[in-house]
Amino acid sequence: MNILLLEGRAVQHLNSALTAWGHTVLPGDRPLKPQLVAAVDVVIAERIETDGVDIELINLLQWCQDHCVYCLLVGETSDEEPSKPFILPLSKPVSIVDLKSVLSLLPSGRTGMCDEVEIRHQLQATQDVIASERRLVRRALEQFINIEQLADPAVKVWTRSTNVLSGDIVLSARTPANVLHLMMVDDMCCGALSVVSTIPVISPFYRMTEKGFGIDAITKEINSRLFRFYPEGQRVSAIVVSIDFSDGVINIWKGGDGFPILLGSARSDQAVTLRPALGTVSPEVFDARTDVWTFQGDVLFALGSTGLLRHFSAKNPDTSALENFDRWLQGHGIPQFSVLKELDLLNDLDASDGMSLALVSCHRDPKNLQEYGVLHSKQASGGEWRLSLVISPDEMRTVDVVPLLLGVIGQFETTRAMGGVLFVVLSELYNNALDHGLLGLDSALKLSVDGMSAFLDERSARLAVLQQGEIELSLVQEHGPDGPMLSVLCRDSGPGFDHNAQLKDSPASDAQNLPYGRGLALISSFASKVEFNPAGNQLRVQLKVTPDNVPESAIS
């Protein structure tokens, strides 16, 4: 090797030894000159103990670092620590007695040294990226999880992680109808991957809750996303809960090992159906059905993670984990929910696993609803939605329009229970628009012996050759002074009809045996308002979105 031997009392006598060991010794002075770079493999300098900062030494080491040159700092005594890194990665304090062996161990030539420098640089860069990534991930997770939503007055959440980023995530939000949605995701991946993997979970939860979708639709959507986008074997354990405070109903979808429990006097830890974790099964076979619990008065609902369950399982083997958990909570003032905000509940637990706990104060007292009045009114605007469909003859021949719309409307929590009513309204509106507005059919055809068949045959024949025309169906949910209203508009491109005369002569009122003429009467019976445009080719129906518009069986 080409060794640059810098001046210094301790190294002066090394010249002959280095030459004897087969190295080429170059004398040098500080500061080092750039032209030496190409010729030098190793720099040997004297190590001088100093109380202050040795600027010269730092410059020397930096020069060596920059040019992939090893720097050995040689001391006079033999009690140095020859393997301990010193200041910069490529510099070592070396005792003179060890110098020969140290030189023999150095990478041969500058290429090897440069490789080592490069590796160290890459390692440092990677560590910097990891540190930066962790900061970013923590920030991103806080944003995704939406800490503000967790500030719901009825919900308290504790999480305790065992890593930089916990594998548990707790989400909560309210629908426009003031139903609380709570989701506990267990054992998500840690680190930067946790952010990526939570996107298909967190985004639909908040977006669909805000729009009023039920948890069945939400779990379906999340499962579908995970199934499509996640690699095989990468699944998400989760429990999703909806709590309707006004009806005292808790719906639970459980696709993980965590636990839901009602505490206090209403203690209930009845078994909940365990479904495959989200993303495990294809959307076609995914089972979004929920278990239903009910409550009266004041109760406390708890949702705990797998880690919490494991901890309480181990705490007292003679009793169940949930009993241990219940007792532990009672020791912290349960069911006095208000006390809990002062406690850091999970800190006194000794566990090697990440743990999360969400407690929900459930009051079925109607007065309690006023407590959430501000929240409700704030989120109510988010529950306004509009759905519009315009179809042309090709689609009229192939698409089953009413079930299509019902499938979408059924995703919304507020209108899902109105399926029966909406089926009638949409069917009547659409069929009238098509049969009479575009196809020009006369219902009197139904009066013959096989009138219905004749009518439908004629309908099929005319629809098969229909070239022009369109039907628009629009649904708008808005919040009026008396609560949410659903406005259904049906417009066809036909010439319209004299609706006043038609209604006046409607056979429904005086000839109940006729096989037609009941459509408008049915619509009117459900609607708050029915309104034709002057041309008679557009009808707007307004429906109250309330349990009043839900058949009895749907309510029960």
Q: Which residue has the tokens 């006043």?
A: 500
- 488 in contact with other proteins (CB under 8 A): no
* Site membership for other proteins, residue 463 (CB under 8 A): no
Contact status: 407 vs other proteins (CB under 8 A) = no
Residue with tokens 């670092």: 65
Task: Give bridge partners of residue 301 from the DSSP assignment.
Answer: 262, 360
Question: Counting contacts by CB under 8 A, is residue 507 touching other proteins?
Answer: no
Residue among 132 and 509 whose Cβ is closer to other proteins: 509
Rounded CA separation 465/394 (Å): 10
For residue 441 the two structure tokens come to 């059919």
- Which of 195, 519, 536, 545 touches other proteins by CB under 8 A? 519
Determine if 513 is a binding residue for other proteins (CB under 8 A). Answer: yes
Q: How far apart are CA 297 and CA 364, in angstroms?
A: 5
For 143-201, give the secondary structure using H, E and C.
Answer: HHHCCCHHHCCCEEEEEECCCCCCCCEEEEEECCCCCEEEEEEECCCCCHHHHHHHHHH
Among 400, 482, 510, 548, binds other proteins (CB under 8 A): 400
Contacts of other proteins in 154-183 (CB under 8 A): none
| Residue 322: Cβ within 10 Å count | 19
Number of residues interacting with other proteins: please give it, by CB under 8 A. Answer: 31
- Lay out the sheet containing 298-304: strands in order across: 155-160, 355-363, 298-304, 259-263
With contact defined as beta carbons under 8 Å apart, do 361 and 337 qualify?
yes
Q: Is 424 in the site for other proteins (CB under 8 A)?
A: yes
74 to 28, 41, 48, 94: CA distances (angstroms): 15, 16, 9, 5
Given the complex with other proteins, which of 186 and 428 has the nearer CB atom? 428
547 binds other proteins (CB under 8 A): no
Nearer to other proteins, 147 or 521 (CB): 521
Residue closest to 252 by CA, chosen among 264, 266, 268, 265: 268
Q: Which of 82, 112, 191, 420 binds other proteins (CB under 8 A)?
A: 420
In angstroms, what is the minimal distance from the CB of 216 to other proteins?
Answer: 17
Compute the least distance from the CB of residue 149 to other proteins, in Å: 35
Q: Is 437 in the site for other proteins (CB under 8 A)?
A: no
Phi, psi of 510 (to 5 degrees): -120, 0
Question: Rounded to an integer, what distance in angstroms lies between the CA atom of residue 2 and that of residue 20?
Answer: 13
Q: Tell which one of 62, 95, 431, 493 touches other proteins (CB under 8 A).
A: 431
Binding mask of the shown chain, residues 440 to 459, with x at each position contacting other proteins by CB under 8 A:
------x----xxx--x---
* Binding segment (CB under 8 A) for other proteins, from list 255-263, 342-350, 373-381, 416-424: 416-424
The single residue among 357, 428, 438, 543 that binds other proteins, judged by CB under 8 A, is 428
Q: Which stretch binds other proteins (CB under 8 A): 107-115, 184-192, 199-207, 518-526?
A: 518-526
Six-digit token string for 110: 């500058």
By CB under 8 A, tell whether 510 contacts other proteins.
no
Identity of the residue, 390 or 521, whose beta carbon is nearer to other proteins in the bound complex: 521
- The Cα–Cα gap between 485 and 479 comes to 6
Stretch that binds other proteins, among 132-140, 142-150, 174-182, 397-405 (CB under 8 A): 397-405
Q: Is 404 in the site for other proteins (CB under 8 A)?
A: no
Task: Show the tokens assigned to 360.
Answer: 């929900």
466 lies in the site for other proteins, by CB under 8 A: no
Distance CA 18, CA 3 (A): 8
Report how far residue 211's alpha carbon sits from residue 214's, in angstroms, rounded to the nearest whole number: 9
Q: Does 551 bind other proteins (CB under 8 A)?
A: yes
C-beta closer to other proteins: residue 40 or 421: 421
Residue 421 near other proteins by CB under 8 A: yes
| Secondary structure of residue 505 in the 3-state scheme | coil
The answer to whether 379 touches 148, Cβ cutoff 8 Å, is no
Binding site for other proteins (CB under 8 A): 400, 402-403, 419-421, 423-424, 427-428, 431, 446, 451-453, 456, 512-516, 518-519, 521-522, 525-526, 551-554
